[in-house]
Amino acid sequence: MPIDAEPSAATYWERRYADEQRMWSGRVNAVLADVAAQLVPGTALDLGCGEGGDVLWLAGQGWTATGVDLSPTAAARGDAAAAAAGLDTRTRFVAADLATWEPGERFDLVTASFLQSWPVEIPREAILRRATGFVASGGHLLVTAHAAAPHAHDHEHAQEHEHDLDGYRFPTPEDDLRALDLDASWEVVAAELRPRAVPRDDGSVHELLDSVVLVRRA
């Protein structure tokens, strides 16, 4: 690959994970915890699972959960964390490209939490559209996205253009509903913006804004 060539998304994210001992906190995403707490545990699929925080939380709540991520390092960390927590019989981690991966089964809950990539893009809308085919009858699909810059130091970029971060356009709930391209067999349970307060190390609070889409297959 030429020195000045842009890396693929797979190369970019594998480098990101490999360069750090741990990327994420390991805590469950708040929207997922809120939604899943209202459902009867069954089978779950987490798209873009990272190091597996959501997968492990779901397993701890009685779900049988599969996580898929583009980075082999991230998937391996999920496996290791599940084994350490004694949850490996209820979890599975797969390193794969969500643009082409096929699960071979349908799930009661499919979730994509902050499945967003910059500066290297992924075919996010196509991945979300494919995800509708992974949901079992009576199951739910939950899409949670950053609706604005997720970090305090990004605010300057966000102010230059309402939905841009270095050229990145943050999705709205309406954007993600259009991407899903649902037919009449689906019910839209929620499509909304939700504020979220995140405490900083210095004791202050950073306000974030999430786009939340929850749909149910009949």
pLDDT, residue 207, reads 84
Please answer whether residues 120 and 170 qualify as being in contact, where contact means their C-beta atoms are separated by less than 8 angstroms.
no
pLDDT, residue 3, reads 45
Please answer whether residues 21 and 129 qualify as being in contact, where contact means their C-beta atoms are separated by less than 8 angstroms.
no
pLDDT, residue 24, reads 74
pLDDT, residue 126, reads 98
Pick from 197, 7, 194, 3: nearest CA to 119: 7
Q: Which residues of the chain have pLDDT under 70?
A: 1-5, 151-166
pLDDT, residue 151, reads 65
Q: What is the CA angle 186-192-197, rounded to 5? A: 135
In 70-106, DSSP assigns E strands to 91-95
DSSP 8-state assignment for residue 28:
P
- Tokens 């459902």 appear where? 39
Global confidence as pTM: 0.88
The rounded distance, in Å, linking the Cα atoms of 44 and 53 is 13
Give residue-wise pLDDT tens across range 16-65: 998 878 877 778 999 999 999 999 999 999 999 999 999 999 999 999 99
